[in-house]
Amino acid sequence: MTDTLANRLQPKHFSLIKAVAETGQLSLAAHALSITQPAASRMLADVERLVGAPVFIRTPKGMEPTAVGRALARRAHGLLEEFREAAREVDAIKRGLIGSVRVGAVTGGALGYIVPAIRALKAEARTADIHVDVAPSGSLISDLRSGQLDFILGRIPVGTDARQFDVRHARVEEVDLLVHQSHPLAFASKLEMNDLVHFSWVMQGPGAPVRQAVESVFIEAGAAIPSDIVNTTSLLVMIAMLATSYAIAPMSSEVSDLLCRHTTGSGLCRLDIRTPIIVAPYHLITLKGKRSTPVAERLCDLVLHEFMTRRLD
């Protein structure tokens, strides 16, 4: 009997029981639920038929709950709130406002587009569980293919079949050369690449897109490629080397903005070089056939909005 009752009583029944218990009048309860009194009367009769006992009795003072009615009314508030909370949670999931998303990006893409998109998502959904991996494109592509990432901002490595991905919206990455403010060239103007050859450098290893872009500019300028290089993918190591030596470090413009403009006390600055350094474009990449969660789709939409906004600017 208990299982049958639990299966048959519906949220609308508990809403009526709660309203009648609170108002003491069937007409007032019907008005509160925006239904007619005859409809409320029929619904109450259905409840009593399902329960197999009277739920309310009519008295000169109004509708008085029976022991069964008091038990149901006592439970109604909590049950209805649970139903409402379930509906809110389902709606939040469908709208991408709750759940978990894991995204990867190259450094410039992470700072330029992922971080603003996360701020926008968190304004809508503070409890969304967001994971951000910043890594070279090769690692990002591998994690995307294995299902560890929902989408990435990166490049498809040479030798990788691009047909397995959906690739959208190329973004060019510009590179600045950073030094400490005590560096001999810190405040020089219109530097040529030959002026930089004999200083120490700290940057990503051979084959990395930023490294290739820097080397290409040296080659195009007819200058020797620097030989004194510390290889690292760690931004912290780069900053430490800059702070303690006359090293030069190439970094995406988004990183240099953060370190030179928005972070006070870093002591770092950009070199004024004559030739711009441009890296091969990166893209927003998803795996074909992979179904995204609503929260992943929402974050992806916000990243695309950042792309469009920057393009209009």
Give tens-digit pLDDT for 182-221: 999 999 999 999 999 999 999 999 989 999 999 999 999 9
Q: Which pLDDT belongs to residue 75? A: 80
Q: Which pLDDT belongs to residue 98? A: 62
pLDDT at 225 > cutoff 80:
yes
pLDDT at 229 > cutoff 50:
yes
pLDDT at 311 > cutoff 60:
no
More confident residue, 9 or 183: 183
Q: Which pLDDT belongs to residue 1? A: 44
Strands 201-203 and 229-231: parallel
pLDDT at 97 > cutoff 70:
no
Q: Are 150 and 296 in contact (CB under 8 A)?
A: yes
Rounded distance between C-alpha atoms, residue 265 and residue 255, angstroms: 15
Tokens 């049950």, located at residue: 79
Q: Within 13 Å of residue 207, how many CA atoms lie on the same side as its CB? A: 5
Rounded distance between C-alpha atoms, residue 182 and residue 48, angstroms: 86
Structure tokens at 45: 């009769």
Q: Which pLDDT belongs to residue 89? A: 62
Of 18-32, 88-102, 246-260, the least confident: 88-102
SS3 89: helix
pLDDT at 265 > cutoff 70:
no
Residue type, 67: A
Q: 31-81, pLDDT tens digit by residue? A: 888 888 888 889 888 888 888 889 888 888 888 888 888 888 888 877 777
Q: Distances in Å between the alpha carbon of 210 and those of 36, 55, 253?
A: 72, 75, 11
Q: Which pLDDT belongs to residue 6? A: 55
Strands 151-154 and 62-65: unpaired
Residue 104: pLDDT band with limits 50, 70, 90: very high
The mean pLDDT of 119-130, rounded to a whole number, is 87
pLDDT at 294 > cutoff 90:
no
More confident residue, 86 or 192: 192
Residue % of the chain over a pLDDT of 70: 91
Q: Which pLDDT belongs to residue 300? A: 93
Tokens 């600017």, located at residue: 313
For 207, left (φ over 0), alpha (ψ -120 to 50), or beta?
left
Question: Is the whole-model pTM more than 0.75?
Answer: no
Q: Which pLDDT belongs to residue 196? A: 97
Q: Please give the domain boundaries of the chain with CATH numbers for all domains.
A: 2-94 (1.10.10.10), 100-312 (3.40.190.290)
Nearest to 287 by CA among 151, 158, 106: 151
Residue 313: pLDDT band with limits 50, 70, 90: very low
Of 82-86, 95-99, 290-294, 306-310, the least confident: 95-99
Output the average pLDDT for the chain: 87
Q: Are 147 and 290 in contact (CB under 8 A)?
A: yes
Q: Are 242 and 268 in contact (CB under 8 A)?
A: yes
Q: 125-172, pLDDT tens digit by residue? A: 888 889 999 999 999 999 999 989 999 999 999 889 999 999 998 888
